[in-house]
A = this chain, B = another copy of it.
Amino acid sequence: MSIDRTKIQWNGWGWAAHQDDLAGNEALWTWLAGELGMPALLATPARPLESIALPPVRLSADARERFTALLGADRVRDDAYERAFHALGRSYHDVLRMRAGDLSTAPDAVLYPRSGDEVLGVLAAAAELGIAVVPYGGGTSVVGAVTASAGPFKSAITVDLSGMDRIVEIDPVSRTATVEAGIHGPALEKALGARGFTLGHFPQSFEFSTVGGWIAHRGAGQGSHGYGRAQDWLAAAKLATPRGVLGAGGFPGSSAGPQLLDLVLGSEGVFGIVTEATLRIVPVPAVSDYRGYLFRDFASGAAAIREAAQAGVAATMLRLSDAAETRFYRAYGAVGKRRGLRDRLADLVLSQRGFDDKACALIAGFEGEADGVTRARAAFDAIARRHKAMALGEGQGRRWKAGRFHGPYLRDPMMDRGVGVDTLETATSWSKLNDLYVAVQSALTGAIQGSAPREGARGVVQCHISHAYPDGASLYFTYIFPRALEREIEQWRAIKTAASDAIAANGGTISHHHGVGEDHLPWIAHEKGALGIDVLRAVKMALDPKGVMNPGKLIPPV
């Protein structure tokens, strides 16, 4: 069931065969140029792989032989496609580099182990030989967590887990599934679904990301409000390290000291490689009900989500777009379409009911048994009504759900037209949320303007509350901007730095569900404190004394 790497874009998002009607929609590009304050959007194609020179393979013949002896020749790969495919993750920053032909971080070999023992053997050999090891699940990191950097070493190998995708055991009594960590989202859900279960973890990267990756970056799926985040559904894990296997978890509750499973979660490959995981699973929901609401403004929508989260309303997802995101998607969807009587009537109704350009769309999802879904929906309806929201019905919800994994596919056609699109996310307590929202929004807007390719050019900065908790919520920003073609990396860094500084200064976490990787490294010491970084370094030293595991990620160099 593992994914054929040659069928995925090596330098962009998703299936190579994916066709998007965006590219040929000139009306849309004209409209977008206007939104970005640009006279036009020019073609900026990516460099084809054939035209790009990869760095020479630095792995010694002895090392290569050692790995070949462990895995066999067909599972130690160093052809150009494999090396290019595994050079970087799939962040905007990564895609910029790949499209420009910068494959300086291509690994010297890509290894495909098929068992935990094989992984252990590879890690022990790499530690002995002083070769950096970059763990790779689906490679969909958007924070530079799979960049195949050699760090202080002479060479780097990527260990691709996609060959380890077996279901080890499903225990329907305890409702757990033990699986190999390289299994992809769709294969996992197919196997669980055949037994009547689901994990319910659906990140936007679901099609391509793996269980091991979800654990290693402490992920949260779109439905984590109902199904929980990685730390909620992970019951046990095996972490292969250069010093052997760290087995952690396995109890429903324990007070036997700090739980080491919590160190596996979010470890981003710097301590070892997750090879096997036991997941808490739940029955496939009988009913799935997603629907839209329109709130008068961001504050009233946020208050409704807060009330629902604090009252324990059993929603699967509550996702509130701010006014900018609401307006953008409405305008985007309308481009090139004739506005009929129905559209004009809808506008009239909205305006008569007092919804103006501050209006914010919310998608609420409810999954489970019919009774529970009905009750949760009614409870949220009542809260929404109290906040003078308008129910938009199931159509909006259906459309959101049908396109839930589609967002990342829009980036490549935009990149082909000189447009940059990036996202970042954070979280804080409810009482700090609005200040954080305003600060990051303003930082992004300012940094995009400050780094724009021409006078008058500007970005579109959107935000939604993506996940909510009784004590706070996450903010997910999407920003679209005209690329400064000759200094794109600097532009990316300027925007990223402004936003991240604003997050750090306003009590936000540097990541709610994307992770740290290389990109968030400059802010991690602020978040964890100097002593906290010492603790992470000490744990790494205990498990990876030679420091070969994923150098340059998560833990700042000394």
Contact = CB atoms under 8 A, between A and B. Distances in A.
Interface string A519-534: 0100010011101101
Contact of A248 (B280, B511, B532): B532
Chain B CB within 10 Å, residue with most, of A219, A243, A470, A514: A470
A265 interface: yes
A404 B112 CA distance: 56
A253 B535 contact: no
A337 to B, nearest CB: 38
A260 B554 contact: no
Contacts of A244: 531
Interface stretch (A26-34, A125-133, A448-456, A536-544): A536-544
Interface in A95-138: none
A469 interface: yes
Contacts of A508: 251
B512 A255 contact: yes
A254 to B, nearest CB: 4
A247 B247 CA distance: 27
B267 A258 contact: yes
A56 interface: no
A176 B280 contact: no
A176 B532 CA distance: 23
A510 B256 contact: yes
Contact of A255 (B511, B529, B541): B511
Contacts of A509: 251, 253-256
Interface string A17-42: 00000000000000000000000000
A514 B253 CA distance: 11
Contacts of A175: 310, 430, 470-471
A529 B538 CA distance: 18
A258 B265 contact: yes
Contacts of A529: 245-247
A266 interface: yes
Interface string A494-523: 000000000000011111111110001000
Contacts of A536: 257-258
Interface residues of A, number: 85
Contacts of A180: none
B256 A507 contact: no
Given A251-B509, A538-B541, A539-B535, A528 B235 contact: no
Chain B CB within 10 Å, residue with most, of A244, A253, A255, A516: A255
A379 to B, nearest CB: 10
A146 to B, nearest CB: 15
A435 interface: no
A473 interface: yes
Contact of A260 (B219, B467, B528): B528
Contacts of A229: 253
A417 B509 CA distance: 57
B516 A471 contact: no
A258 to B, nearest CB: 5
B542 A220 contact: no
Contact of A257 (B219, B306, B472, B554): B554
B516 A257 contact: yes
Given A310-B175, A538-B538, A427 B543 contact: no
A54 B510 CA distance: 53
Contacts of A245: 529, 531
Contacts of A218: 254-255, 257-259
A86 B268 CA distance: 43
B254 A511 contact: yes
A426 to B, nearest CB: 9
Interface of A: 171, 173-176, 217-220, 229, 231, 235, 241, 243-248, 250-260, 262-268, 280, 282, 306, 310, 312, 314, 372, 427-432, 467, 469-474, 507-516, 520, 524, 527-529, 531-532, 534-539, 541-543, 554-555
24 contacts: A173-B430, A175-B310, A218-B255, A220-B255, A245-B529, A251-B427, A252-B429, A252-B470, A252-B471, A252-B472, A253-B474, A255-B509, A255-B515, A256-B515, A257-B267, A257-B515, A257-B528, A258-B264, A258-B539, A531-B543, A534-B543, A535-B542, A538-B538, A539-B539
